[in-house]
Structure formats: C-alpha cells, structure tokens
Amino acid sequence: MSDLRELYQEVILDHSRNPRNFGRLENASHKARGHNPLCGDDITIYIEMEGDVVRNISFEGSGCAISTSSASLMSEILKGKTLKEVRSLFESFHEMVTGDPSQKAEVAPEMGKLAVMAGVREFPIRVKCATLSWHALMTALGESGEKVSTE
Ligand code: ZN
C-alpha cells in the first residue's frame, strides 16, 4: 500500500509541476472560474464543446499541488467525453474524494488516473482543492455557467 501511495504522490507531483492542457483556450465555448479562499486556489476552466462532446479543454490560474494536479488530470481524461460521461465522472470523483475516510475508496475503472486523488478523502481540508476544477467545470457546462459566445 505504501508503494502505491508513493506512486500516487509521484503522479500528483508530476501533474502539479508540469500541468497538462495549461493555458487559455482561444476557441472556448464555455468557461468558468473557481476560487477556493481556504487555500487560495484560483482556476479558470476553458471548454470547447462540439455538440455534446468535449472537443478540447484547458485551464489556467494558480493553486496548490492538489488543485493544479486535479485540474490537469481532469483535463486529460475529459477530452472526447460526452456530457453524460462528464457528469458521471464528476459524480464518481466527488464520491471518491468526499467518502468516509475510514473506508477505502472504491474506484470505478473509467476513473483511470483520477484514482490518484482517492487519498484526498483522508484530508478533509484538501477536498475543496481537489474538487475546485470539477465544480468550475460543471458551472461552465451547466445552467448557472457563464457562457462565452464565439459567434
Ligand atoms: Zn489548494
């Protein structure tokens, strides 16, 4: 288990030092900003939708290792996903990081690398860091989101 934990920490460190899909997305059809005052994380998510498929996604901003790596991992896994799949992943992710800390997280196979975030449930103060980009994503895609017109 400790080896696994080290591997998880390596992935998190890697993504926080070299975040994937970092930067503004010029063709974004949706965007939203998430702010976590508890930690100072401030992340803006950009999404380019094609129909109900995530064609491209990126993020920018600054934050701690957990919020940055979570946004980076999220951006990697969501490319090519349908809205329905995005919602399902959001729910699974939320459940994984907010579940009972005394229970081991059950991680669905479709979560892929997002599984590295499972340990966050043991650190309640970090949950907001891990879920920040996801909440911004859902705001961007959802009814309450700020929609950026490209027309
Ligand atoms: Zn944070």
Q: Write down the pLDDT at residue 22.
A: 98
Q: Is the pLDDT of residue 5 over 80?
A: no
Q: Write down the pLDDT at residue 107.
A: 87
In sequence order, what are the beta bridge partners of 35? 42
Residues with CB under 5 A from ligand 1 (ion): 39, 41, 64, 67, 129
* Cα-to-centroid distance, 57 and ligand 1 (Å): 21
* Cα-to-centroid distance, 53 and ligand 1 (Å): 29
* Cα-to-centroid distance, 46 and ligand 1 (Å): 19
Q: How far apart are CA 74 and CA 58, in angstroms?
A: 9
* Cα-to-centroid distance, 22 and ligand 1 (Å): 17
Q: What is the pTM of this model?
A: 0.90
How much of the chain is helix, strand and coil, in % rounded to 5? 50, 20, 30
Domain ranges of the chain: 2-146
Q: Write down the pLDDT at residue 126.
A: 92
Q: Which two tokens stand for residue 43?
A: 């992340």
Q: Which two tokens stand for residue 64?
A: 């701690």
Q: Write down the pLDDT at residue 2.
A: 61
The two beta strands, 53-62 and 41-50, are antiparallel
CATH number of 2-146: 3.90.1010.10
Report residue 87: phi and psi, to 5°: -60, -40
Q: How far apart are CA 139 and CA 131, in angstroms?
A: 12
CA-based nearest residue to 35, from 72, 64, 69 = 64
* Residue pLDDT, tens place only, 103-139: 888 888 899 999 999 989 988 889 999 999 999 999 9
* Residue pLDDT, tens place only, 29-83: 999 999 999 999 999 999 999 999 999 999 999 999 999 999 999 999 999 999 9
